[in-house]
Amino acid sequence: MALTMSTNQALLDAQLELWHNTFGYIKSMALKSALDLRIADAIHSLGGGATLPQVVAAVKLHPSKIPCLRRLMRVLAATGVLSADQSPSGGGEPVYALTPVSRLLVGSSQNLAPFTAMILHPSFVAPFLELGTWFQNELPEPCVLKHTHGLTLWEHAGRDATFDALVNDSMVSDSQFIMDIAIKECPGAFQGISSLVDVGGGLGAAAQAISKEFPGVKCSVLDLDHVVAKAPSDSGVQYIAGDMFESVPPADAIFFKWVLHDWGKEDCVKILKNCKKAIPPREDGGKVIIIDIVVEDGSSNLKHTETQALFDLYMTLVNGMERDEQEWKSIFFQAGFSDYKISQVLGARSIIEVYP
């Protein structure tokens, strides 16, 4: 009898885990709904706490949707996007408040709403509905995004101004968030240099952050023509239209934030060889600075491990990949570099300094 109960419990636990993974996309879509409805902004404007009727009034929903909103709020609370505490005055309705997660979706600084909106945009979600079909194609094949939409990410951005703005705004929000932390946690990476080129730096948020903190460093951004054409004119950063596969402008340091993971090994080696030509020797301050994921095996932080694994699969969108230390090392040495240093100070990401 005890064995049967144990077996049944194991089956039920397995079913629960299966359901938890199967319905995982509902968590993402609930978060997208919260962004679309600006629920976090509404709660923030109400002083950081609000009852359901207050949220309904703030986001201007039709009264018929109140019961459905209650269910959405329950999911947001269960997944840690919001907190829900019983109202001190009673009445049965909880008071919803922001958590550290939802505080990243409001305000003017460290606001990751644009990045989250890009990840959850239908253009980026739809390709994963065809991931199984994509895997059945023989190599080489188009990336998952082109498999679905007929265009690569960069082709789409070059032809569609709205899509381009979605991507650029998301990268700006991520740069504003992560660069403040990177400069505080690893200032030595940016010290001892007089010039820096941010390759693939978009609208220049990362370069602007470096320039502001280290005014003695002349910062430039290298990106494609259509990106540079939309760059701000009063940022204090120079913008250069070009192609990193052709050449990289000379500087003491070349900087990449979330760029190299977009490309395969051969492309990364080619890009880094161009960087090596552009920088001085190590004793004169020459180096490449990379912000990217360094996949860790056997991390005790399960959420950290899962997030890195999810990001790695996500990069099939552009035929990119996340790499462990040995994979990065192989690229660096094949490109002609002699040494590197990894600083794991950015959560799931790291700062890598690569020396000629």
Angle between helices 52-59 and 66-78 (to 10 degrees): 110
Length of the chain, please? 356
Q: H or E element: which one contains 161?
A: helix 161-185
Give catalytic residues, as residue numbers: 261
pLDDT tens by residue, 96-142: 999 999 999 998 778 999 999 999 999 999 999 999 999 998 877 79
Within 8 A by CB and 6+ apart from 345, the residues are 181, 182, 185, 186, 351
Q: How far apart are CA 299 and CA 56, in angstroms?
A: 42
pLDDT tens by residue, 154-194: 899 889 999 999 998 999 999 999 999 999 999 999 999 99
Query: Is the entire prediction scored with pTM above 0.85?
Result: yes
CA end-to-end distance (rounded Å), the chain: 68
pLDDT confidence of residue 91: 64
Query: Quick one: which of 118, 142, 150, 148 has its CA closest to 130?
Result: 148
Tell me the C-alpha to C-alpha distance, in Å, between residue 189 and each of 193, 271, 291.
9, 20, 11
The dihedral through the CA atoms of 184, 187, 189, 194 has a sign that is positive
pLDDT confidence of residue 140: 75
Query: Quick one: which of 269, 288, 291, 100 has its CA closest to 205?
Result: 291
Domains of the chain from N-terminus onward: 10-104 (1.10.10.10), 112-355 (3.40.50.150)
Tell me the C-alpha to C-alpha distance, in Å, between residue 96 and each of 146, 234, 332.
41, 41, 49
Contact 227, 256 (CB under 8 A): no
% of the chain residues with pLDDT over 70:
97
Q: How far apart are CA 140 and CA 315, in angstroms?
A: 16
In angstroms, how far is CA 354 from the centroid of its own chain? 22
pLDDT tens by residue, 262-284: 999 999 999 999 999 999 999 99
